[in-house]
Amino acid sequence: MLSDKYWDVIIKDSKCLSLRPLKNYDQIAKSCLPNNIRVASEYAFVIINGEFWMIDLEKAKSNMKSLLREVDNNSDSDDFIENWYEYHGNYFKSKKETYDHLIILLHKNPYMKCINKFIELSTSNDKSDQHDEDDKHEFTIEWHYEVSNDINDNCNKKVEIKVFKKNNGNSICKRTDYVVQMLEQSQDEDISSEIISDNNLILLTDMGLFVYYFNENSKSISLIYFYYMHPFNIELFLKPTLPLPNYDSFKHCDEWISSIKDHKESLLKYGTELLKFAIKEHNSGLINDIYKKCINYFKEDLGNNKMFLSIITTTMPLLNKYYPEYITRYSLATTMIVDSPFYVIEDKHINLHLYSFQHCLQMTDITQSIWWLDYRELMRNYETKNPFVETINRNIYKTWNGEVLIKFKLDNYGKYYYTIIWIGFIAFLGCFTAAATIPDIDDDVRNKLLTSSIVLGFIHLSFEGNIINHIINIIDVIAYVLPIYISIIWLQTKEMNIIPLLSFSCLFLDIKFLLFLRAFEYFGVYFAIIISVAKQIVSFLVVLFIIIISFAHAFYILLLPRSPFSLDERTNNNDPNNPWNIVPSYNLVFENGTVDTNPYIIQLPNGNTNMFINFKTSLFAMYKFLTGDSDALSNWTYVDDALLAIMIVLFSLLIVVYLMNLLIGLLNNAIEKDNNRVSFLIQKAEILAEIELFYLLPYQRRKENWFPEVMYYYANNDKTRKKIKEMMDNKEWDTNEFAELKQYLLKGLNVEYSTDE
């Protein structure tokens, strides 16, 4: 946190933008520090004591430089450094350390204009004026550079940078970087350089752009930017900001990876891209290093270093795909983190359990319980890629952080959009059902209802049709497409030959209406079980279906009639599979007890007499046998057909007895696995993901109150104790990370925990 003296020079030229400013700058208490900072290109906006202030960055930068010069020349500089504080755990402690990134984040890159101009001159045909600007500056050090082939490996280029004192030529330090070249890359280097200050050197080569920084205190050179590109594309470097390093930048230069990983500011700037690179390269060591550094930097300063956690959360879709164990690790480590120095643990009568808000100072009129912080970049919705949408992971929603995330989104916009969508569907359902069900409806009214069904159906389909990757989405699409198609045909033909499709349309519409109830916990837990269990056993059902097809094929070959026959005219032959020979018949019994050998009454056969005359009906016969109906096989005498009896025994033992009981066991295990709140929360997350992707407008996706960077929430003390004990019993209470904070929380809640457990 900034000292009073340092904060004074930043805020003194600022303006209060509140409608009724309560204080001038001189009236602000020196202990009041900004609650929130947002930086634009020319101004920074801060909130102090609930008022909105605008800071001119150029003036603030000038004031800071003047103050730092004064401190350097002042013998009391140690006292100034003593006033720098950081918040750690549940108390404040002094720390004699300054952070460059605190200053850098307050203003835009001051050298971008120089970089843009340098690149333009370096890539133009006329370079006569390239160094005119340099001659106006007096530098105290001298930069030397050399780009050559590596002696040990001709495929590598060696970039050697040296810094000398300009007055006596003494060497201060040097740095060597190695860049792996592409095979087709030219061996001749066209090199340009620009010294934009005593501390910065820009180097432009055929390999890309290098930016070096010389630290006068540590007497070392750092690579603070590298962009590998072949061939060179000037358009990337003419924008207000430098492009983020690409994949090849990390692939071709190991020193660049080390520079980012070992420097706090560079990790903050380029850590996300580096972590994505590590995941795609399956570099588990680098992934673990980045993860640990982000967590450690956050632990150093919970208030100011939350942005390091966004490096992890932004890459969660990739982690979820390749390294899901890191999501589990992160979720358990960051659950129940208390980062505010003003929180209290006390019992109140107001039910605020898992009630979320964006900043504690906005909730001064609401009774406190425990303030927890959910640092998830998953709250943020993006135009192209949305980590929340792309990361649906059970381990996230096992914790209260995930539950609060869902509750926050649902309360702010989800429930309103869901209600509107449901009302729109009810209108569509009502129009089509009325037109299809009411028999004596007027033709004009029916036509209007069908036309309304078409319009409403296309409106819904325009949203639902964007995504078909889930069984529910397939049902949704069918529920809209079939009624639209039937309504169009009905309006054109006025015929009722579409009754079979009409019945299916009403069936899918009713199912779709039922699926809307899955957002309510009372019904949703059962829908979660049904859907998740279906996903788990689908492969088993495919195997079962293939086996049934195999038996249907075998029975079809065995019981197919081999002689010509007709169901309309009696065919008399010796084929045992002829429907006329297996149909029930009745013989005449004479008074003397003898029986006429010729049938007296014969029941007419039909398509169900021998269901194995067609392969499709053979499949249906096997399904009936699976459900316990063996009538399709009862027309044959098993004593005379031993092979048929063997086939029936095999089917009953393998399918009916073994596989069906195995299916019941699998269903039982799947139900036990998904009969919990986590499955229901995942289901709600999927609903919210669809709303964010296909219903929210672009400006709504950028609303800070809907997608805040940081979200706090309350938790009931008794429920917190219960939750912590539950996590301890499940071995999920992670004390390796934030041990001090969690120990303080346990102490405040009077929960005993032994690390030996």
pLDDT tens digit sequence for 381-408: 444 456 677 777 788 888 888 888 888 8
**Dist CA 586 CA 122 (whole Å):** 106
Residues 6 or more apart whose Cβ sits within 8 Å of residue 594: none
pLDDT digits (tens, 9 = 90+) for 166-206: 777 788 899 988 888 765 454 545 556 666 666 888 888 87
Which residues are registered as beta bridge partners of 54? 15, 45
Residue 161 main-chain phi, psi, to 5 deg = -120, 135
pLDDT band at residue 552 using 50, 70 and 90 as cut-offs? very high
The pTM (predicted TM-score) of the whole model is 0.68
**Dist CA 702 CA 692 (whole Å):** 11
Q: Are 336 and 724 in contact (CB under 8 A)?
A: yes
**Dist CA 36 CA 572 (whole Å):** 95
Q: Are 269 and 262 in contact (CB under 8 A)?
A: no
pLDDT digits (tens, 9 = 90+) for 332-363: 888 877 665 545 566 555 666 777 766 533 32
pLDDT digits (tens, 9 = 90+) for 24-83: 544 444 444 454 555 555 666 665 555 556 777 777 767 766 665 665 555 444 443 333
pLDDT band at residue 288 using 50, 70 and 90 as cut-offs? very high
Q: What separation in angstroms does the CA of 513 have from each of 422, 446, 500?
A: 8, 22, 20
**Dist CA 19 CA 42 (whole Å):** 22
pLDDT band at residue 9 using 50, 70 and 90 as cut-offs? low
Q: Give burial (CB, 10 Å; 0-12/13-18/19+) of 413.
A: buried
Tokens in use for 219? 């007497």
- pLDDT computed for residue 339 by the predictor: 61
Beta carbons within 10 angstroms of residue 100's beta carbon: 12
**Dist CA 600 CA 611 (whole Å):** 25
Indicate the length of the chain as a whole number.
757
Examine the pLDDT at 367 and tell me if it is beyond 50. no
Q: Are 427 and 456 in contact (CB under 8 A)?
A: yes
Cα–Cα nearest to 399, from 739, 707, 726, 749: 726
Examine the pLDDT at 275 and tell me if it is beyond 90. yes
- pLDDT computed for residue 417 by the predictor: 93
**Dist CA 289 CA 280 (whole Å):** 15
Averaged pLDDT for residues 205-214: 85
Cα–Cα nearest to 387, from 329, 326, 313: 313
- pLDDT computed for residue 87 by the predictor: 33
pLDDT digits (tens, 9 = 90+) for 719-736: 888 888 888 888 878 667
Domain extents for the chain?
111-121+140-328, 335-357+371-517+696-714, 717-756
Question: How is 386-421 classified by DSSP, letter by letter?
Answer: -HHHH---HHHHTSHHHHHHHHHHIIIIIHHHHHHH
Beta carbons within 10 angstroms of residue 724's beta carbon: 20
pLDDT digits (tens, 9 = 90+) for 439-484: 888 889 989 999 999 999 999 888 765 554 565 678 888 889 999 9
pLDDT digits (tens, 9 = 90+) for 513-541: 999 999 998 898 888 888 888 888 889 99
Residue that has been written with the tokens 């005379």 in this structure: 640
Examine the pLDDT at 8 and tell me if it is beyond 50. yes
Averaged pLDDT for residues 273-286: 93
Examine the pLDDT at 707 and tell me if it is beyond 90. no
- pLDDT computed for residue 373 by the predictor: 45
Beta carbons within 10 angstroms of residue 588's beta carbon: 12
pLDDT digits (tens, 9 = 90+) for 93-134: 333 333 333 333 333 455 566 676 766 666 665 545 444 444
- pLDDT computed for residue 32 by the predictor: 47
